[in-house]
Amino acid sequence: MDDFAHLSVLISIVLGLGVTNLLTGVARIVQVRGRVKPYWPTFVWVFTLLLIHVQMWWTMFGLRTVETWTFFAFLATLMQPILLFFLSALVLPDFDNEEMHDLRANHFAQAPWFFGIFLAVVIVSLVRTYAVSGHLQNQADLAFHLVFFIGFAAGALFSNETLHKALAAGAAGVFLTYVSLLFADLM
């Protein structure tokens, strides 16, 4: 087993836990649908987070060519799935109790943490790239990171509903564009 095959096990487990959170949350919504007040941006965020988890797993394959790993490079690499796991836990409420669940109220209750953690994902993504390769990605990748950073900072700072709806739709669209332009092929 090569170094990355060993390291990728823990990365895959953490990513799998995040995907499990998201899929279990959606299944619970279906199960307790009579006690859930829907909010479409939440469903868009669940979809976007699922795509981000898959894209991260997809792009981790490119790390198989890294010959030398340091603990810091691995920690930075592992930190992205860890942060995504936290996002997957915050996007939907805990459906195990018998109360009504208002997804809009949950969104705004979690928004500062949700978007704050998303900001950390953007920063850790840049740190990871530098820690593993010794340089930052190309200009297009940096431009997407900047767009995500600005959007997530606005989400963390402002609780305007129109802004939050635009952020949900915009983040999904920008992320799909990001993947289509920069990560469509397995490296």
Model confidence pLDDT, tens digit, residues 125-152:
999 999 988 887 789 999 999 999 999 9
CA nearest to 61, candidates 23, 130, 131, 7: 7
Considering the domain boundaries, does residue 81 fall inside one? yes
Considering the domain boundaries, does residue 99 fall inside one? yes
pLDDT for position 187: 62
Q: What CA–CA distances, in Å, run from 78 to 14, 102, 134? A: 8, 32, 17
Considering the domain boundaries, does residue 187 fall inside one? no
Which residues span the domain enclosing 19? 3-182
Model confidence pLDDT, tens digit, residues 16-68:
999 999 999 999 999 999 999 999 999 999 999 999 999 999 988 888 888 88
Tokens standing for residue 114 = 């949700």
Tokens standing for residue 82 = 């860890």
Q: How many structural domains compose the chain? A: 1
Residue at 57: amino acid letter: W
pTM of the model: 0.93
* Residue 1 pLDDT grade (very low, low, confident, very high; cuts 50, 70, 90): low
Considering the domain boundaries, does residue 14 fall inside one? yes
Considering the domain boundaries, does residue 35 fall inside one? yes
Considering the domain boundaries, does residue 119 fall inside one? yes
Model confidence pLDDT, tens digit, residues 83-128:
999 999 999 998 888 889 999 999 999 999 999 999 999 999 999 9
- Burial readout 42-72 (b: 16 or more C-beta within 10 A, e: otherwise): bbbbbebbbbbbebbbbbbeebeebeebeee
